[in-house]
Amino acid sequence: MPHFLLKQSGRMPPLLRLPDEILEEIVSELDEHSDLVAFALASRVCAALVIPHHTQYRILRVRRTYPAMWAHLARRADLARNVREVHICERTNLRAPDHYPTTLIDKHLDAIPDNDEESVRIRNICRALGHMRRLRVFTWSWMGVAGQQRPTSHPLHENQVLTAISHLPMLEHISLHGKFALHALNSAIDLNSTTYPVWKLANLRSLSLAGDTWARLGNSKHIYNLLAKSPNLEYLEVPLEFHHLMECRLPNLKHLKLVLQAGAASLGIDRSRTIFLQNHPSIEVLDWSPVGIPSIAPDALPNLKSLRSNRQFAMALNDPEFGSYAVNLMTPPSTPVAAVTPVPGEPTSAPVTIQRKIENLDVKSLDAQTLLDLKFIDKQSLRRLKLHTFGDISTLHEIAATFPNIEWLSLPSFHLPTDNPYPLSVTRWLDILPKFPKLEVFRGLGLWSSVANSRPDMHELILDLVQACPNLRVLDRVDKFNAFDPFKEIVITRKETSEGLHVDYSIVRRSPRKPFDVMDGMFD
């Protein structure tokens, strides 16, 4: 029976008897794709309301130009207005699958040759973005593209797209990776940061800027002014070289990523970065590797939960005087003076290192024994650990006993005894991994190395592991070239049946990367 007649018959639920325009507004308020699918599964009428008019118009992710799609969105404001996220990526970007509307595109109106012309395509992009009044997330990545380093063929086109973005009222999360702002005027000329559209953004909750152009000194003051207009910012990714970082005040900042972009930085940069960290105790997730040996206050970063860094920063957190010792060692001797009898000073107590409830840890060059000696980590809190090197096998047993709640573990394929590195044997792996009683995810190709990448032998090893590790559910795999497979993984399933527990495993695609993740999916 047609939808109209069903309404008149009174056999439909009260919700679906509402006028179509009201129903449309109600469905338009559903942000999540999963909620739309759940609504569609309720009945055929519900499915007709949301498929494809809503299911294809929440998240837009494209790795190609698609001029017909942009022309379609520019023409259909009624559909484009419901888009919540737009992700424009280079073709080599495989962090997540493409997602864009196809069903309702009119080949006679949208797929015409005129729309292929670059200036027309940019105009359609801007018009489509202008319709997206509910847009909350915009990401644009253009990294390492051969033949076209800049995101658009002309700076004017870049400005036009970003101007359209700057006018959207609900935009809260923006990421620009690549050679953006290459033509932006130096802050010494553009004193009020008004000539480049990105500088006009405000009230952001997430900001991610990656690429060497963002590290230019002439753009630093502009970025500072941008951050000053977003006091509620929670996520920040900027180049390590960002000159005005120390002056920024972001009281709600929780996620911070600082990555060296230009390839060179002075040792003095560490001091300003540690001051920024000390001024922001709200930080929970941090990715920063200091250039030298930093000195940081003993009570800095009290809320830190996830850390990716290098060995010297871990040692600085572990010993508040670690950095000052290094500075004293590097200080040249002063001119000799006459010896005098030392006067005893007032006794001072050593600074106390606070324990931080760190759940995720990835520290480059940190060995197993040093990890066991760290005092700044609450042993019960650690859930996910990436270890880059270990020597004596017994230290892994100690780690399992010291950190009993580890659920996610990454270990190298080779360990470092006193003579030469060599892979662990199958017997060793079957001895080590069960020592972690809560282990769910094991990363690394050590298991594959132990069976010389043999698929039949790996099958037998997995069968042994699922018996020894009752919670294990994910393993890494190798591709047809016996190299690490970044796109697929081994997933173990357990299901209770009338005959008992049935255990199986399959090869599945990895989960898509989240656009704003300091750890880049490291601990997924």
**pTM for the structure as a whole:** 0.90
3-state secondary structure 134-173: CCCEEEEEECCCCCCCCCCCCHHHHHHHHHHHHCCCCCCE
Cβ contacts of residue 202 below 8 Å, gap of 6+? 229, 230
pLDDT score of 334: 47
Q: Is 213 helix (H, G, I), strand (E, B) or coil?
A: helix
pLDDT score of 437: 97
Q: How confident is the model at residue 487 (pLDDT cuts 50, 70, 90)?
A: very high
How are beta strands 59-62 and 441-443 bridged, if at all?
Answer: unpaired
Residue 310 to residue 454: CA distance in whole angstroms: 34
Q: How confident is the model at residue 2 (pLDDT cuts 50, 70, 90)?
A: very low
Residue 340 to residue 320: CA distance in whole angstroms: 30
- Do 408 and 443 touch, CB atoms closer than 8 A? yes
Tens of pLDDT, residue by residue over 488-505, are 999 999 998 888 889 999
pLDDT score of 328: 44
Q: Of 308 and 8, which is predicted with more confidence?
A: 308
- Burial code (b: 16+ CB inside 10 Å, e: under 16) for 145-175 equals beeeebbbeeeebbbbbbbbbbebeebbbbb
- Do 63 and 93 touch, CB atoms closer than 8 A? yes
For the segment 161-180, the average pLDDT, to the nearest whole number, is: 97
Tens of pLDDT, residue by residue over 192-246, are 999 999 999 999 999 999 999 999 999 999 999 999 999 999 999 999 999 999 9
Residue 7 confidence (pLDDT) above 60:
no
Residue 402 Cα to chain centre, angstroms: 29
